[in-house]
């Protein structure tokens, strides 16, 4: 699966997925055709993962900017692309319907790797450039020729992706147009930051409202009891018997203890279990996570004739849990599994939640019947030192996907276990505790 029109379920791949540099023996030729990797690639991927973006849900927020970019450049097509370890995600487009393509087939992978002083990457004729002339979008419809891309810089030297304009004919991007495209790219980054800030704020507001309502409800009873008992003692005055006063004091102590326990619960951010509440925008249930994974990664599986199966255990399936980088973790594991699984193979994802008193534990398993790994390769991954290797269809690897997974799981105080054997597939087990 490469460039996927929304109306198309399957594209003929031919040989577009093969990287031409593997055909050369001379080192200079190999370097010439290698896919570019930014020097700070892991830092770049970490910045992207921190934003925890839903790549498939951003179109409406950025659609106007792709239209504006195309009008400014005078091109038929404009895209806003974010690039992760394996995939280029088109979060908004103008002039063509596209959602994703493998990173190694994109032109924008060169844009995110350009030196900062270049301010962009231009290809005047894709068909005449050895790096791109055999790409499916050049050889076949839409027969693209011109490309100009501007990095989406989130921090100094850190590019999340690119704003690009494309056309079937050569376009003259004047310095004035370049400057305007850079301004539009800056606005894309600003909106991404705003999206992230709003998402964080929504979570805090909802959490605050939940605390407020819980406090108002739970504290009313104990406080009311204390006040009532105190009033009884006051009204009876000298008529109070010692035994009655002691009983009243015991009741007051009991009510006071309830308030104290509630305060401790609030301060420890443990608000009790509410298994029936609906998930917020910052949460998944097993069902919504399953749907998201299928929507995002089924096209990749389909393009390789690999079956992707996602399932979950029904126990506790309706309990919401924080998104907490889960899409980045599972997405990288699924993309990696697809990369090393041959045609007619199977990639399976299973999910479950275990509830232990007030704590919850998420368990995920991504398995495949692909090429498998030896002990040395497994140790590289668990040590965060994994390096890239080719996939079953000569797909390029960029060497950072599994390193990123390991880093993210450690950040969640979770655990990654790997079971694999050469020629017999791999199984990645992820455990994430939720307090």
pTM listed for this prediction: 0.71
Distances (CA, A) of 24 to 55, 109, 328, 397: 36, 21, 34, 18
Find tokens 């790549």 and name the residue: 55
Q: Which residue has the higher pLDDT, 137 or 371?
A: 137
CA distance linking residue 402 with residue 385, whole number of Å:
9
Q: Which residue has the higher pLDDT, 221 or 308?
A: 308
DSSP 305: T
pLDDT band at residue 207 using 50, 70 and 90 as cut-offs: low
Report the share of the chain in percent with pLDDT over 70: 70
Is residue 301 over pLDDT 90? yes
**Alpha helices, DSSP H only, in 286-388?**
286-303, 326-339, 375-382
pLDDT of 117 reads: 80
Contact 383/403 with Cβ under 8 angstroms?
no
Is residue 57 over pLDDT 80? yes
CA distance linking residue 258 with residue 215, whole number of Å:
12
Is residue 30 over pLDDT 60? no
Average predicted confidence (pLDDT) for the chain? 79
pLDDT of 400 reads: 79
Contact 74/147 with Cβ under 8 angstroms?
no
Q: Which residue has the higher pLDDT, 280 or 102?
A: 102
Which residues on adjacent β-strands are paired with residue 147? Answer: 123, 166
Q: Which residue has the higher pLDDT, 325 or 206?
A: 325
Element (H, E) at 404: helix 401-411
Is residue 392 over pLDDT 60? no
Residue 300 has φ and ψ, to the nearest 5°, of: -65, -40
The average pLDDT across 171-193 equals 92
Q: Which residue has the higher pLDDT, 401 or 409?
A: 409
Helix, strand, coil fractions of the chain, as percent rounded to 5: 45, 20, 35
CA distance linking residue 96 with residue 91, whole number of Å:
12
pLDDT band at residue 244 using 50, 70 and 90 as cut-offs: low
Q: Which residue has the higher pLDDT, 36 or 258?
A: 36
Is residue 87 over pLDDT 50? yes
CA distance linking residue 426 with residue 331, whole number of Å:
16
pLDDT band at residue 214 using 50, 70 and 90 as cut-offs: low
pLDDT of 305 reads: 92
Phi/psi-derived region of residue 249, left when phi > 0, alpha when psi is between -120 and 50, beta in every other case = alpha
């Amino acid at each position: 699966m490469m460039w996927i029109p929304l109306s198309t379920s399957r594209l003929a791949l031919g040989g577009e997925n093969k990287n031409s540099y593997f055909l050369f023996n001379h080192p200079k030729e190999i370097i010439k055709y290698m896919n570019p990797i930014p020097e700070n690639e892991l830092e770049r991927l970490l910045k992207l993962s921190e934003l925890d973006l839903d790549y498939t849900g951003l179109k409406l927020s950025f659609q106007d900017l792709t239209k504006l970019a195309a009008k400014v450049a005078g091109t038929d097509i404009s895209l806003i692309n974010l690039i992760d370890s394996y995939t280029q995600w088109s979060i908004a487009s103008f002039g063509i319907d596209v959602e994703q393509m493998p990173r190694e087939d994109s032109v924008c992978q060169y844009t995110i790797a350009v030196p900062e002083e270049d301010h962009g990457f231009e290809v005047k004729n894709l068909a005449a450039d050895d790096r791109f002339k055999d790409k499916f979008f050049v050889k076949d419809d839409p027969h693209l020729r011109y490309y100009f891309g501007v990095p989406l810089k989130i921090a100094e030297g850190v590019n999340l992706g690119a704003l690009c304009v494309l056309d079937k004919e050569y376009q003259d991007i004047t310095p004035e147009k370049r400057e305007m495209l850079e301004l539009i790219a800056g606005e894309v980054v600003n909106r991404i930051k705003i999206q992230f800030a709003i998402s964080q704020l929504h979570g805090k507001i909802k959490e605050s409202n939940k605390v407020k309502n819980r406090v108002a409800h739970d504290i009313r009873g104990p406080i009311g009891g204390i006040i009532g008992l105190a009033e009884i003692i006051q009204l009876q005055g000298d008529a109070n018997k010692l035994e009655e006063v002691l009983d009243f004091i015991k009741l007051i102590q009991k009510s006071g203890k309830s308030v104290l326990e509630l305060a401790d619960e609030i301060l420890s951010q443990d608000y009790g279990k509410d298994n029936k509440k609906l998930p917020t925008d910052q949460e998944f249930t097993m069902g919504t996570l399953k749907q998201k994974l299928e929507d995002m990664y089924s096209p990749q599986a389909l393009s390789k004739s690999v079956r992707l199966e996602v399932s979950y255990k029904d126990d506790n399936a309706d309990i919401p849990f924080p998104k907490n980088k889960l899409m980045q973790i599972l997405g990288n594991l699924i993309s990696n599994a697809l990369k090393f699984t041959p045609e007619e193979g199977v990639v399976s994802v299973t999910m479950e939640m275990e509830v232990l008193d007030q704590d919850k534990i998420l368990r995920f398993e991504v398995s495949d019947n692909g090429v498998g790994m030896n002990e040395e390769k497994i140790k590289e991954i668990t040590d965060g030192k994994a390096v890239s290797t080719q996939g079953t269809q000569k797909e390029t690897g960029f060497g950072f996907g599994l390193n990123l997974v390991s880093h993210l799981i450690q950040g969640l105080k979770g655990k990654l276990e790997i079971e694999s054997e050469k020629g017999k597939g791999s199984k990645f087990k992820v455990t994430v505790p939720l307090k």
